[in-house]
Structure 1
Amino acid sequence: MLFYLFICLPIIQVSLAESAYEYKSYKNYKLYEVEGDHENFNKVLENLKDFVELPYFETRNDKLEILIAPDVNSLFEEITSFYDLKTKVVVEDYSEIIRLEKSGYRRNSVFSWTAYYDVDEIYAYLGNISKEYSNWTEVVVGGESYEGRKIVGLRINTPTEADEPKKIIFIESGIHAREWITPATTTYFINQLLTSTDPKITSIRDQFEWQIFPTVNPDGYHYSFTWDRMWRKTRSKSTFFCYGADPNRNWDYNWLQHGATSNPCNYQTYGGSEPFSEKETRTLSEYIQHLDNILAYVAFHADAQMLLVPYSDSVDHIDNYDDLIKIGKTSLEYGYKVNGAKYDGPATAAEILYKASGGSMDWVRHALGTPLVYTYELRGRSFHWPPDRIYEQGDEVTQMMLGLITEACNLDYC
């Protein structure tokens, strides 16, 4: 059977390459859930990933989730059967998921949270809202992308009579292009900070300076929106045929040691040619380094539904780990009260997910010593969340941030 595999896979690879210039609809791609021996999960992936495109695979809850092209389905089922693995199709046609996401309701020209938007529309929203609240918000540029886009964020800093500058809470989202729910919830949270009449929300808005960047990988996000829904990386040119690096494996902390590959054609976790090889990570890190008084750095990802603390590649605990766990638990308790959604953690990724090096959160903690550093993995499945339910996660995130700050202040971090 394996002889058949290695004879057939180069043909499949060629056929995929020939269609690379067509719009990637993901028509009849199936999302499988695989059960069995974890060592055999790895054998299946090793047999496949160097020969065919695997747009998505992830091991979670003791199961392997994997997205398989229609011309690979029968081969995939043969391989999993050979390794005595049980398969179940959980999405018959991934193009239907994309269709549902793209058909979200848009309220004419008004930015809303019932639809997903491309990067220019997100930036337009930031520009418009900064004009509406011009006395205490401004658009800021945190860096630049390979294709020349700005990494645009919103600075919120209400007037104060105090002489000392406020402590900064920095929020980053959208570093992985296909995680659409993260820019959506981040802009929702911006709207809550600016428009809420809840005194608890206005209090945390006024107490800190906020720097919030909804999409720090604008090229990749735009590409995922217009060309390939499952695109994860940047859009820099790696080789003649291969593009992009994983921007959350490209920061200069234990670079390429865990959870990343040096193969530039790897669809998911190529760590780049060197630390900060990607213009996005390099320029954003320079911007962050020039910010004084950062109290908290918060990154939003999807969709493992957990809260992570540094360091992602270690089970050893940093000096204020106990405080981070206590603050994190309070944050998750606040979020749970909204929709009853239970998150795993808080813990390091190495403890409850997998080891990963070269991420933004870990670099910020290591290089800058920022006291409060977290990564929230939001909800969803295979990076899908219905657009008409964005508000659910937006409300959760708002309350989780309130809980985080409340407990941090209780522990004298504020």
Structure 2
Amino acid sequence: MKILIQNAEIHDPNSPFHQKEKNVLVNNGRIAEIGDKNYSADKIIKADGMKLSIGWFDLGTYVGDPGLEHKEDIDSVSRAAAAGGFTEIAVLPNTSPSVQTKNEVSYITRNNDTRLVEIHAMASVTRNNKGEELTEMIDLHEAGAIAFTDGLKPIWHTDILLKALQYLQKFNGLLIDHPEDVWLNMFGQMHEGVNSTMLGLKGMPRIAEDIMVGKNLELLGYAGGRLHMARLSSGKAIDLIRTAKKKLNVTCDIAAYQPLLDDSYLSDFDTNYKVNPPLREKVDNDALIKALKDGTIDVICSGHLPHEDESKELEFDLADFGIINLQTFGANLVSLSRSVEWSTLVEKVTINPRKLLNLEIPKIEVEAKASLTLFDPARTWTLDEKSNLSKSKNSPWYGKEVTGKVVAVFNNNKHRIED
């Protein structure tokens, strides 16, 4: 089937057509033509004002499959990811059982060659993500695991983190950690500050993140290797990484919503704003925006963490942390683009995550495989029961109109085009 994407603005720094408006013809899963001609096609997508990039990549999607399929399964996360513009996602190992054997890796990655959304496995660093005993990382790497992390849990054991850094150097593997001092954050519900005091909730101080980032950087300097720190929120933590980048192989990411929301949103105890790391204050959000601009932050992820109603619709202190954000990710990017150049944002969701994981980076050029995301930054829509493709609905934007909608995705000779 020939599909013509007409007059889209191309965003791919590796393409000679970067930031140019062109017609792109996709035929049988490959880019057949790029130019100004109106090539004959079976279907035409009028893309005036839309952005065309290589397929988006989400680093650190949560899916409950296997074991917690009532939150999200492989099929539902694939549908939500495609609707959100992603052609590839790397999933966290916090499942039941955790991703710690070849069987779990194979279960997640099966049929990737024919999927619209390819799903990559990030394997556990420690057994059952408890931080006490290393997994067989070389075997897991050979089975197809693309990175190693305890996912939503920090690698709290100093010697374990040190040995993991050393162990992964055997194959240039990437260690990913969510830096959090769990003891300082024990029983915490939101950012520690004026608002937590006014609401009478136990706070989660910045220092719980800052201390762990500092410790991790010291260990990286001692052991060597490659370390990526996930879902940062603190301005000081970002400053530490900015300085460390001058001499260490360290990278980091943030959830797309982190610089857009602050702890004042929790004033009415809406559990859909309860996330970890917590929404912090404007000073932190400003620091994150600065770090997006200057390259300190390498990757923007969705932070997608689905929960069933029973885990969210209850007292605030009993509710689980997390929101769904695959489908509203593009709307987050539109909001961020008011402060950060679009081309900078796109690089952090396309090229940089693949580069970190040593994966092939698609290109927008003739004869290349069509791994594409077409996005309309002006289209408004509402995430509701009809449009939501996740099994869960724990989103602060549920039932609200947002701006920015994915129109089409292409990958592996498959496509999804919005009606």
TM-score strictly above 0.5: no
TMscore range, shorter length: under 0.3
Higher strand share: 2
Higher helix share: 1
Provide TM-score, normalisation by structure 1.
0.27
